[in-house]
A and B are shown apart, each in its own frame.
Chain A
Amino acid sequence: MLETRNLSKSFGPIQVTRDVSLKLEKGERRVILGPNGAGKTTLFNQLVGELRPDRGSIHLDGADVTGLRVADRARRGLSRSYQKNTLFDGLTIGENLGLAAAVALGKGQGLWSDPLQSAEVRETVREVAAQVDLAPYLGARVDAVSYGIRRQLEVGIALATRPKVILMDEPTSGVGPEMSKGFHRLLKGLPRDLTILIIEHDMDLAFDVADTITVLNYGEVVFDGLPEAARGSQLLKDIYLGAWEDA
């Protein structure tokens, strides 16, 4: 469903993505682990097209999308959420989700009707709100709700495009353990045919939701396999568990 081949990227002398080759099957839920600065977000930026790789290729649903622009990849069913909230701050939560759904349904340039009133968009907003527990807040403005709610909206916006593949960049970063747990539950409730790639620092969550695990270190894939194998891996312990135990 989503594949990279020998993806490489450097910022000046620093190589932040080294020959990364990944392959996600349809419906696979993969968690990316790795210490701070390992190049996880940079990998996402290349996957969605916000950053051009120096070398290598990206394939979505069988097609090479390496040369496509951000919006074109999104229209092919690729969606992402950001590590740092990237919301429509002055609008309500319902409008945030509605706008995302409207654009994804191709109504973002229409002149003759209000997409926010269309049955399709309203239905999507209702469904996504249920998926990420935002139903009680649809009428509230983004700047009036708590950080945790905004974090849920961050993922909600990405889901509102009804993607085939969703990339989530540390969806629970900065929220308390309670909300984090709630988020596990929400994740597990997502449709099984949705392909999910999550960057996550929380090991419990990682092992809880992952079908497969990829570990990045200094931009390089140092582990790629099943969660059970990851648990026992000495390599993973060496580079990652130290950081995990500190946290």
Chain B
Amino acid sequence: MFTHTPLRLTTLALLAAGSLSYAYIAGFFGLEILAEIAILAILVIALDLVAGFGGMVSLCHGALLGVGAYAFTVAATEAGLPALPAMLLSVALSSVLAFAIGAVCARSTGIYFIMATLAFGQMAYSFVFQSPLFGGDDGLSGAPRPDLTAIGIDFTDSRAFAVYTILLVALSYLIASATLRSGLGRSLVGIHHNEKRLRALGLTVWRAKATAFAISGALAGLAGCLAAQHTQYVSPGLLSWTVSGEALVVVILGGLGTLVGPLLGAILFVVLKHEISAITPYWHAIVGLILIAVVMSRAKGVFGFIEARWEARSPKPVVKEAKADA
């Protein structure tokens, strides 16, 4: 079951303090990277919620992000909605879509579940790619950032925008961790461990899976809105399954099923991408090697490794704890 260990809380505090101080001192390029990390972080929180805790490995999260990004752009430009309602609308759309995908895929598990989500993702991708509404290969531009100039905040400024994305990472994390500590979250973990038994205990399993997927989809949609606002341009590539695959890599790299780990994964991934691609065009190969090392080490990613080390340092008296709980 998901818990906030002291190590996790410390890591979160350090991440919050670190990212906000960096936002304060960083130059333009650093702030752009910070926003990129934050957007990826929201996507991987969404993915870890269902994949790490519910065992629902999804290859449609890129598409859910893309739907959010396109819906936001269309709502805010062509429909002329202000940014905030446009965001709410697109988050809701991603969420409803995710609920439907979750409900349909709920019957399948393992590789079949992955393939079913991939199929949904590719359907969304080709729809956006081919429909004349969405600019095809050229994509759409002009997605606005929220206008808070009335209260003296200007989101066209990279620093303000970076802080705004960091705050939304915090919000997403709170939503995901609250979900995991709710009845639904407890059931989700139970489903991962033993779906058959949970059904025999009286849980309507498909509904739990679909609801969890809907919450995850809402967060992916939020990441999509931010992606659209960040570059102020959306292209079908956002919906591609490679975005989902990359998110999965980040979750595994950081620590599948730890919720905190994927945040570290997002930082590591984006920083590595920028640092290594400055030296060699083969940066994917380097990230691949690191991923292989992480998977082979059998630790739960970078954060899982840290947690294991931490626990080894302070051995737990198992029996005593068992007694104390009684």
Q: Are B183 and A140 in contact, CB atoms less than 8 angstroms apart?
A: no
Given known A129-B326, A137-B322, contact A71–B194 (CB-CB < 8 A): no
Point out the residues of chain B lying under 8 angstroms from A136, CB to CB: 322-323, 326
Q: Are A139 and B182 in contact, CB atoms less than 8 angstroms apart?
A: no
The distance in angstroms between the C-alpha atoms of A88 and B194, with both chains bound, is 6
Q: Are A70 and B183 in contact, CB atoms less than 8 angstroms apart?
A: no
Q: Are A103 and B202 in contact, CB atoms less than 8 angstroms apart?
A: yes
Given known A102-B186, A108-B203, A138-B326, contact A89–B318 (CB-CB < 8 A): no
The distance in angstroms between the C-alpha atoms of A142 and B43, with both chains bound, is 33
Number of interface residues of B (CB under 8 A): 33
Point out the residues of chain B lying under 8 angstroms from A108, CB to CB: 183-184, 186-187, 198, 202-203, 208
Q: Are A157 and B197 in contact, CB atoms less than 8 angstroms apart?
A: yes
Q: Whole-angstrom distance from the CB of B256 to the nearest CB of chain A?
A: 13
Point out the residues of chain A lying under 8 angstroms from B181, CB to CB: 114
**B207 adjacent to chain A (CB < 8 Å):** yes
Given known A95-B1, A107-B183, A116-B1, contact A71–B324 (CB-CB < 8 A): no
Point out the residues of chain A lying under 8 angstroms from B183, CB to CB: 102, 107-111, 113-115
Point out the residues of chain A lying under 8 angstroms from B157, CB to CB: none
Number of interface residues of A (CB under 8 A): 45
The distance in angstroms between the C-alpha atoms of A110 and B188, with both chains bound, is 11
Given known A88-B194, A109-B211, contact A99–B187 (CB-CB < 8 A): yes
Q: Are B184 and A140 in contact, CB atoms less than 8 angstroms apart?
A: no
The distance in angstroms between the C-alpha atoms of A74 and B197, with both chains bound, is 11
Chain B residues 301 to 326 lying within 8 A of chain A, measured CB to CB, are 318-319, 321-326
Give residues in A with beta carbon < 8 Å to B.
48, 50, 70-72, 74-75, 79-80, 82, 86-92, 94-95, 98-100, 102-104, 107-116, 129, 135-140, 144, 157, 161
Q: What are some 26 contacts across the A-B interface (CB < 8 A)?
A: A50-B200, A71-B202, A74-B200, A74-B202, A75-B202, A79-B200, A80-B200, A88-B190, A88-B193, A91-B189, A92-B325, A98-B186, A99-B186, A107-B183, A108-B203, A109-B211, A110-B183, A110-B184, A111-B183, A111-B184, A114-B183, A135-B326, A136-B326, A138-B325, A140-B321, A161-B202
